[in-house]
Amino acid sequence: MHKFTLGIEEEFQILESDTYELRSQMSKIIDDGKVLLQERIKEEMHQSMVEMGTNICENIHQVRDEVSYLRQQVIKLADDEGLKVAAAGTHPICEWNKQLITANPRYEAIIHEMADVARGNLIFGMHVHVGIPSREEGLEILNTVRYFLPHLYALSTNSPFWEGRNTGFKSYRSKVFDKFPRTGIPPFFSTVAEYDKFVDILVKTNCLDNSKKIWWDIRLHPFYPTIEFRICDVVMTVDEVTCIAALMQCLVAKLYKLNRKNQTFKNYRRLLLSENKWRAARWGIDSKLIDFGKEEEVPFAKLMNELLEFIDDVVDDLGCRTEVNYVYQILESGTGADRQLKVYDETGDLTQVTKYIVSQTKKGL
């Protein structure tokens, strides 16, 4: 079997130690971090955000080690500057227009092009790369795995608050990001040539300078031999990271296995898949998603059990049964959004919610 290597990128909030509000002090962490971590620590558009990226991991156990190590390092770097680190898709209180933008020609170009849409994009995500044998096989898998994006997204929901308000969504992050062009679930592409032609037209007409500015929920990475899952909120704990990454790896491996046997999994129209994404954003794991084969609503937990049955024959080959089974813990204890809302219900205080996020970001390290 192909190895289906993994790589994880996590975007973290940098906070004041006393107020737990966002602090535009990323540069202090980046400057020190580059000495030890080189390219595994990166600046982002907002100075209150830092991105950590793993090396290429052979299996989910390496992912756990890498993610744990990088979280430990960024927390230590922040501590040395009197700052805190939080893993949530949005900050519960802070306003985007009070955050400083990083001085960088790339970010300045995006601001010039998209104005307040870019400035207001104060959101934090997790991207998971899964290695693929070829772009052709990757595109076949991408077309099909789109069906499962809302399932994965619901498990990651971790952004119920925005600028001091309970938004009513389990993931408001995606609603903020929807303002960007070229976002959401991608369309079906029948061939790599069709995919590349689409990108070429956008480059030729100055919509973008390269395909990294295609911000779909999943994409063929323009430079690496990977499928990149981009739909998820950054999640609070390492256990959640490894669970969701393992599910993604298993889905890619399972669909590859089916393709090799000339067996198919039905592709559904993007408009239908987007209905499930909306439900996942609004209600998370409490949602009823649509089973388009049966044309009926199904409780999320039942769909997750069906997903686990679907991937069961590749789980042990990939050595990730413990990580995959953590789904049951998420279903029992709730996602990050559910846990944030529980703290808010108990305290009525969004600062206490933020403190909880900070403590959960360190959990298990």
Structure tokens at 241: 């990271």
Query: Residue 342: what pLDDT?
Result: 98
Band of pLDDT at residue 1, cut at 50, 70 and 90? low
Which residues pair with residue 22 across a beta bridge? 15
Q: How many domains does the chain have?
A: 1
1 in a domain, yes or no?
no
Q: What is the mean pLDDT of residues 153-169?
A: 98
CATH of the domain at 343: 3.30.590.20
Per-residue pLDDT, averaged over 38-55, amounts to 88
How many other C-beta atoms are found inside a 10 Å radius of the C-beta of residue 8?
22
Which positions ≥6 away from 8 have C-beta within 8 Å? 53, 54, 57, 63, 66, 67, 126, 127, 128, 129, 241, 245
The domain of 227 spans 6-361
Q: Which tens digit of pLDDT belongs to each residue from 199-213?
A: 889 889 988 877 678
The pLDDT confidence band at residue 89, using thresholds 50, 70 and 90, is: very high
Q: Which two tokens stand for residue 274?
A: 């987007």
Contact between 218 and 146 (Cβ < 8 Å): yes
Residue 309 lies inside a defined structural domain of this protein: yes
Is pLDDT of 41 > 90? no
In a domain, 243, yes or no: yes
- Please report whether residue 95 resides in a domain: yes
pTM: 0.95
192: in domain: yes
Q: What is the pLDDT of residues 267-288, one digit of tens each?
A: 888 999 999 999 999 999 999 9
Instruction: Give 49's pLDDT tier (boundaries 50, 70, 90).
Output: very high
Cα separation of 307 and 251, whole Å? 9
Greater pLDDT, 25 or 273: 273
CA angle, 72 then 77 then 126, to 5°:
55
Q: Does some domain include residue 297?
A: yes
Q: What is the pLDDT of residues 315-364, one digit of tens each?
A: 999 999 999 999 999 999 999 999 999 999 999 999 999 999 999 999 99
Asked if the structure places residue 232 within a domain, the reply is yes
